[in-house]
Amino acid sequence: MTDKPPSPQGIPPDPWSDLRAHTQARLALGRAGAALPTAELLRFGLAHAQARDAVHIPLDADALAAQIHALGCATRQVHSAAPDRATYLLRPDLGRQLCDADAEALQAVSAEGRRPIDLLLVVADGLSSLAVARQAPPLIEAIRQQAPAGWHTGPVVIARQARVALGDAVGALLGARLVAVLIGERPGLSSPDSLGIYLTWQPQLGRTDAERNCISNVRPEGLSPPRAAARLWWLCQEALRLGLTGVALKDRSEGLTLAAEKDTALPSSNRSD
């Protein structure tokens, strides 16, 4: 690292500034006496407030449904057995269950004998409604653009007060071969809007996290929608070939996802209906 001349005020330049340009991590914050500098303390307070807001601000499901409709996808809205946000945070088990009314409604849809669904997308608010509002629409668009020929994705299900395992109940009721839950991840102090994808083969009640594959950190500063979609479809096709997801399905899609980053408009012969 080259030495930099002192500033006109006689204060030497910060030797960490070059490194900070490449990461959002809090490095060498400095001190003012025995405490943090005021500027760093204020930045920390802002990041903490953004993380809290991401957890507590309710998802605008109607606005999200309108955005997804504009992409050409049908939608359905469901709610977990947690009646409100406070209950959702205190009772994770209720966030994994569908409310009775929506379970009955999905059962009626399944009884209509519609075309089988190969990959069902469930968009869940999780622990960051901000992540869902920002990242879900561009991710769904990328997933549709890259869909392999012959794959049917059905309607996008928007789930409120939902945990990952809620996708098992929804997927089982709709008879999906695979379910991908697009969910707001637990916010960090530098990433309040990170989205995760959890893929499960033959969803049914009782599936464990060891039976899922996770793609995390979908956001502009992390994994882009085209790369995340390419990785998801690679995993889907391997899941179909092997008949499983989870710890036995290793992600070796890196070359494909790098190519998707360069070409965000891969051809597709499949569209949701």
Write out pLDDT tens, residues 89-114: 999 999 999 999 999 999 888 766 67
Instruction: Work out the percent of the chain whose per-residue pLDDT is above 70.
Output: 86
Q: Are 146 and 204 spatial neighbours (Cβ–Cβ below 8 Å)? A: no
Element (H, E) at 252: none
Q: How many residues does the chain have?
A: 273
CA–chain centroid gap for 34, Å, is 40
% of the chain residues with pLDDT over 90: 65
The dihedrals phi and psi of 101, each to the nearest 5 degrees, come to -65, -45
| Per-residue pLDDT tens digits for 52-90 | 888 999 999 999 999 999 999 999 999 999 999 999 999
The answer to whether 39 and 45 are in contact (CB under 8 A) is no
- CATH no., domain 60-140+148-223: 3.40.50.11240
- What ranges do the domains of the chain cover? 60-140+148-223
Tally Cβ neighbours within 10 Å of residue 153.
Answer: 23
* Residue 256 pLDDT level (bands cut at 50, 70, 90): low
Mean pLDDT of the 190-213 span: 95
